[in-house]
Amino acid sequence: MVFGAGAVRELPAELDRLGAKRALLLSTPEQKESLLKVSKTLGSRCAGTYDKAAMHVPIEIAEDARRAARELGADCCVTVGGGSTTGLGKAIALTSSMPILAVPTTYAGSEMTPIYGLTEGGAKKTGRDLKVLPKAVIYDPELTLSLPPALSASSGMNAIAHSVEALYAQDANPVISLMAEEGIRALAKALPSIVQQPGDLAARSEALYGAWLCGIALGSAGMALHHKLCHVLGGSFNLPHAETHSIVLPHAMRYNQDAAREAMARVERALGAASAPRAIYDLEKGLPLPMKLADIGLKEADLERAARIATETPYPNPRKVEYAPVLELLRNAYSGARP
């Protein structure tokens, strides 16, 4: 892990360390320019670029990128982007065992986890495999300066959600809890500054540091009701990933508040507040974020079906997952009520 402003210049040295000679560079179409800049630092060690990464890793794109990697004779993938781009690198690594060197440009945290996702026939499947865990990660806050305030806020809250659930996970442990609490503190401090001044490099560094910690929390502890709900809302109702996380989080925390007192106390300490779900809600209110599921495309008539799917095969959760209170949670998230 390399961290610091300008750290992307360490890319050739990191490739040396991995023993990689021909890197395939990946990005989304929107980040093609950043990709080309990074590719220039590699000279002849850039085997080629592939800029068609897309949200939730559609299998057709994964197969096309795997073919490109083979045809170009690549021996390593460099991902320059957010969770969608890292996810495409993971899809290639899954079938080729090619090492990934990740250069994250959002706060989603995928670069720190062995979790992959692929979407086939409209359904997203996720799994865990150490083959997809990046072998090296370069965190360069300068590459996040262009992340728009709204995307910064939603991906930062997505990261905070990873840490919150790691704090009350069935397999929580004291070291990961320290990291999760610190990750929440760093992001909660940085996000309002970033929204006010997207070019604030100190705040960008703090946020990326928080994202790193939250990514480790996600990769190390099992997730609970909040992640299950977001998975259902994204997978079955096609809601946008990061915004869904930020809207649902305070309500999922309210659901678990009494059953996870120690975890809530850590969040309260990180935020300097008396009620963890309210403090998260109030933090979000001050950021350019949608606060209601109604505002991001969910229909009121879908709430019961969402509650049913989410409670059929629940993830382990501190409070028993039951249909009626989960429906109430979703109704509150739908209307954006303060918990």
Interaction site with ligand NAD (CB under 6 A): 28, 30-31, 55-56, 81-85, 87, 105-106, 108-110, 113, 115-117, 143-144, 146-147, 151, 155, 158, 218, 241-242
Of 112 and 330, nearer to ligand NAD (C-beta) is: 112
Q: How far is the CB of 325 from ligand NAD (least distance, A)?
A: 26
How many other β-carbons are positioned within 10 Å of the β-carbon of residue 126?
A: 11
What's the min distance (Å) between Cβ of 302 and ligand NAD?
Answer: 20
What is the rounded (10 degree) CA torsion for 252, 245, 278, 209? 120
Dihedral (CA of 171, 210, 1, 128) sign: positive
Pairing of strands 123-128, 115-120: antiparallel
**In terms of CB distance, is 201 or 259 closer to ligand NAD?**
201
How far is 85 from 79, CA to CA, in rounded Å?
6
Decide: helix, strand or coil at residue 56.
coil
* Smallest separation, CB 86 to ligand NAD (Å): 7
**Amino acid (1-letter code) at residue 66:** R
- When the beta carbons of 32 and 331 are compared against ligand NAD, the nearer one is 32
| Contact residues for 245 (Cβ-Cβ < 8 A; gap 6+) | 154, 157, 158, 161, 226, 230
Beta carbon of residue 270, minimum distance to ligand NAD (angstroms, whole number): 20
**Residue appearing with tokens 């703090």:** 206
Displacement of CA 102 from its chain's centroid (Å): 14
Q: How far is the CB of 159 from ligand NAD (least distance, A)?
A: 8
Residue with nearest beta carbon to ligand NAD: 83
In the bound complex, what is the minimum distance in angstroms from residue 301's beta carbon to ligand NAD? 25
